[in-house]
Structure 1
Amino acid sequence: MRRFSVVAAGAAVTLVGGLAVGGCVAENGGSAPAPDKGTASAEQQQAEEGGEEPQGGRSEAAGGERDDLVSFEIDDRSQAGFDNVWVTWTIRNRSSEKSDYTWDWEAVGPDGKRLYNSTEWVTDVQPGQTATGESPTTLKTPGVTINITEFNRSKSW
């Protein structure tokens, strides 16, 4: 009987702790298109209008942390009937500290239907350094739009 009460107490603590942590989740109000070489992002426009300060008090160039994602696009390398599609990215650390990056993205078809979503990680990018990467995907490129749904830069330890 004593063993049962210890297990029940442990389960109650786990449940309450899980609910408390689950309540801390913040939702992003929508998605933003992947970087476009010719237009300013919403975060960049907000920063230009006196928007948010960077997280953790780090100094950075004009614009927000989202501007560190220089490019993010689909690269279709398919040939001879074999699908070979990748997403490629370039990150440039414009902050004053070594940083880690994570971002969530989605691929949306011409009809507005989400076709794919994923998360990318880049770690240990030094100030001023540019990092590139790629990840395979099963996307077909015609008419697909890439949206960044969440983007975070944090201090790398």
Structure 2
Amino acid sequence: MIVIAVLVIAPGQSDESNTPAPSTSPTAKVQQGQSEEPEGERADLVSFQLDDRSHAGLSNIWVVWTIKNNSSEKSNYIWDWEAVDASGTRVGDGSQFETNVQPGQTARGEYPTTLKSAKGIKLNITSFNRTASY
């Protein structure tokens, strides 16, 4: 199966968030209201973390997220991430997206990774964009 995502930027909207992308540990949640929490559209990413669903000797690591649309219009979100081990080596990366999130609505999602373990892995959001959904 091939999935193609097209990102349309509405006139007057930025294609990049002007807020920093803090790292999150596999079990940490990005909580609104903390001093290190970015403002603006990036604040809509309420949590983004690894979930280790391994059992019976099989590795099964997923990324899971919660988005809350704090804007006044239906929105699409796309963000890029990387997984970095304790030595600073990137061991995984990907892009995630949520579409058609209504104002005030919360959306949750999950996606499998190719990671073999979640121990000692930090997630970094490398870009984050919210665009109007039509």
Give the TM-score, by structure 1 length: 0.65
Deviation sequence 1:39-94 (CA, Å, 0-9, x none): 434633xxxxxxxxxxxxxxxxxxx1100000000000101111111000000000
Matching of residue 33 in structure 1 with residue 10 in structure 2: no
Query: What is the CA-CA distance between 1:103 and the residue it aligns to?
Result: 0.3
2:84 alignment partner in structure 1: 108
Structure 2: state its 5+ residue gaps. Answer: 1-14
Q: Quote the residue 1:43 is aligned against.
A: 38
Partners of 2:129 and 2:101 lie apart in 1 by: 13
Change (3 A) 1:99 1:136: same
- Report what 1:136 is aligned to: 112
Deviation for aligned residue 1:138 = 1.8
Distance 2:83 2:74 in 1: 29
Supply the RMSD in Å over aligned alpha carbons. Answer: 2.2
* 2:125 paired with 1:148: yes
Q: CA deviation at 1:31?
A: 5.0
Q: Of the candidates 62, 84, 93, which is equivalent to residue 117 of structure 1?
A: 93
Higher-strand-fraction structure:
2
Unaligned segments of structure 1, at least 5 residues: 1-24, 45-63
**What fraction of aligned residue pairs are identical, expressed as a percent?**
53
Q: Which has the higher helix share?
A: 1
In 2, Cα distance between the equivalents of 1:155 and 1:95?
9
- Counterpart amino acid of residue 76 in structure 2: D
Equivalent in the alignment of 2:60: 84
Letter of the structure 2 residue corresponding to residue 120 of structure 1: Q
Equivalent residue pairs, number? 112
Between stretches 90-99 and 79-88, larger displacement belongs to: 79-88
Structure number with larger C-alpha Rg: 1
Q: In structure 1, how many angstroms separate the alpha carbons of the residues matched to 2:52 and 2:103?
A: 31
Give runs of ≥4 in structure 1 deviating > 4 Å: none
TM-score with structure 2 setting the length: 0.76
